[in-house]
A and B are shown apart, each in its own frame.
Chain A
Amino acid sequence: MKEKSFSLPRREFIKTCLKALPLSGLFFFGLDFQKLLLGQTNQYDPTKHDFGMGINIHKCIGCGRCADACKKENNVSREPIYFRTWIERYVIPVKGETYVDSPNGGIDGFPEYEGKIKDILRTYFAPKICNQCAKPPCVQVCPVGATFQSRDKVVLVDDKWCIGCRYCIQACPYGARYLHPVKKVADKCTFCYHRITKGLLPACVEVCPTQARIFGEVGLQSSPLRRFVRFNDITVLKPSLNTEPKVYYAGADMEVR
């Protein structure tokens, strides 16, 4: 009875349905099934991240585990001139010049201070790392676009595109870059990009025994970094250069540059 009320004959209807089938298939295959099934949480979206690091000098014990872990994680040459992160010891005497040293980046510990311990006014360790500037001077000078700021605001080096001209090494005011001894291209800290995109901490933050290093989102309200920045007196290195570093120091005084 109902069939009669249709103006479209059954045969015609099935034919049009068959014609529409490949079209509908196209529609379904075009959709990202992974996104639908797994949800957005598993997918890493670089546009929604802005990473930064906090370094608490009051907590650093100068054990050098960070510098060691960085070399092991990123296969950096063990030679004592190549570092993605390293520790400097600052000894400020009552009179005279500040003494700064970093033997093998602090990996093998620090030798005894040569002066008298009684003459020390202040002394501390300061871990150094690429500052992942918001306005990176190294990116500005690259003639080929081999170093760049990714969408998650991490400064990276494309080792296949770099021509090894060393401009960026010269431009970095923090001395964070070096020429890779084998590849002959510029190399630097990537905030362990392969780790942070998987939701892990950078190797140096992972191994730090006293939590002197804090890693987190700069923009997020409930980030460990935000808490660190809120409750400490924060300085950045060389603020006058307007590089806007995203490595925040607590307890660093004017001697740390």
Chain B
Amino acid sequence: MKKIKPDNSRIPKQIISIAVIFSIVIAAFIIGRLLFVPRSFGKYGHYRADAVDEIASQKLNYAGLQACKTCHSSINQTLSDSYHKGLACETCHGPASKHIESPGAIKPVVPRERKHCETCHSYNPSRPTGFPQIIAESHNPDKACISCHKPHDPLLPQAISECSACHRSIASQKSVSHHASLSCTTCHKVAEKHMSNPTLERAGKPMKREFCGKCHASGAYNPRNIWRIDLETHGGRYLCWDCHYPHFPEAKK
């Protein structure tokens, strides 16, 4: 403005009026920006920096395993030695941060009904093989799970004698197959310990083609009229179970 003043006569009026309008608009923009854009906007990037702290200050509902451990150390020790060692307390007992604030007044839920255990342990073909599953309709339907299994140390009530108790899908498949008359131990060597601790002591599996050949080789002694192959020429270097599923062999006479 200082420069313009002495040469006022030279600058046309319309230019001055435009300049005034522009400066008002720019000033209004700057004031408006100061008023409406939050202070912390653009501190770390194109966002309101205070929002990060606001999100971080959200209230906790799940306290975390460490918090449970501080008081319930003995039950946690039992749990961490058991098959349920991967579970956090709050998986079954629900969010417990309010219980930590006032341990006497607010107690976490204790699920005792069958439906709760079935969330994980009812049979579903999409679940990974080997995950312990039951068919709820036929597995002691009127009994509560906790009457036999302790949730913090879920061992089986007694050593099981039948393979089908765990390997149900295999057993049911085998029962309708050509191998229905064979017992599991015909092919699998099962140690006594496998019944009580299945992951520690695995069941043995046949390793060689000759094992299947005991019945199925062309020269094998077998009174029954079963499918025979020539071990030398049939299947090349593949093992029998690379193509045929022994629990449900598909070959027909």
Residues in A lying within 8 Å of B, measured CB to CB = 46, 58-65, 69, 72-75, 89-91, 109-110, 113, 117, 120, 123-125, 145-151, 156, 158-161, 190, 193-195, 197-198, 200-201, 203, 206-211
Kindly identify which residue among B56, B84, B88, B125 contacts A206, using a CB–CB cutoff of 8 Å: B88
List the B residue with the shortest CB-CB distance to A122: B126
- State A200–B59 Cα separation when bound (angstroms): 13
Q: In the complex, are the beta carbons of B61 and A200 less than 8 A apart?
A: no
Stretch of B46-54, B188-196, B230-238 at the chain-chain interface: B46-54
For the complex of A and B, the 9 pairs showing the least CB-CB separation, nearest first, are A148-B47, A158-B51, A194-B58, A123-B126, A145-B46, A207-B91, A63-B120, A200-B64, A197-B56
- Since A72-B95, A123-B125, A195-B64 are in contact, a sample of 6 more A-B pairs with Cβ atoms closer than 8 Å, ordered by chain A residue number, is A69-B95, A72-B61, A160-B51, A201-B64, A209-B84, A209-B120
Given contacts A110-B124, A211-B86, contact A158 B47 (CB under 8 A): yes
The B interface is mostly helix, strand or loop, or mixed, namely loop
Q: In the assembled complex, which residues on chain A have CB atoms less than 8 Å from the CB atom of B86?
A: 209-211
Q: In the complex, are the beta carbons of A193 and B55 less than 8 A apart?
A: yes
Q: In the assembled complex, which residues on chain A have CB atoms less than 8 Å from the CB atom of B59?
A: 194
Given contacts A148-B46, A156-B52, A193-B56, contact A113 B90 (CB under 8 A): no
Q: In the complex, are the beta carbons of B47 and A72 less than 8 A apart?
A: no
Q: Mark B89-129, 1 if CB is under 8 A from A, else 0.
A: 01100110000000000000000000000111010111110
**CB-based A-B contact count at 8 angstroms:** 121
Query: Chain B, interface size: which category?
Result: 35 or more
List the A residue with the shortest CB-CB distance to B94: A72
- State A70–B90 Cα separation when bound (angstroms): 12
- State A221–B61 Cα separation when bound (angstroms): 31
Q: In the complex, are the beta carbons of A160 and B47 less than 8 A apart?
A: no
Given contacts A91-B126, A158-B48, A197-B56, contact A64 B64 (CB under 8 A): no
Q: In the complex, are the beta carbons of B127 and A61 less than 8 A apart?
A: yes
- State A151–B49 Cα separation when bound (angstroms): 10
Shortest Cβ distance from residue A200 to the other chain B in the assembled complex, whole angstroms? 5
Kindly identify which residue among A150, A194, A207 contacts B57, using a CB–CB cutoff of 8 Å: A194
- B157 on the interface (CB 8 Å rule)? no
Q: In the assembled complex, which residues on chain B have CB atoms less than 8 Å from the CB atom of A72?
A: 61-62, 94-95
Kindly identify which residue among A73, A89, A159 contacts B95, using a CB–CB cutoff of 8 Å: A73
Q: In the complex, are the beta carbons of A145 and B88 less than 8 A apart?
A: no
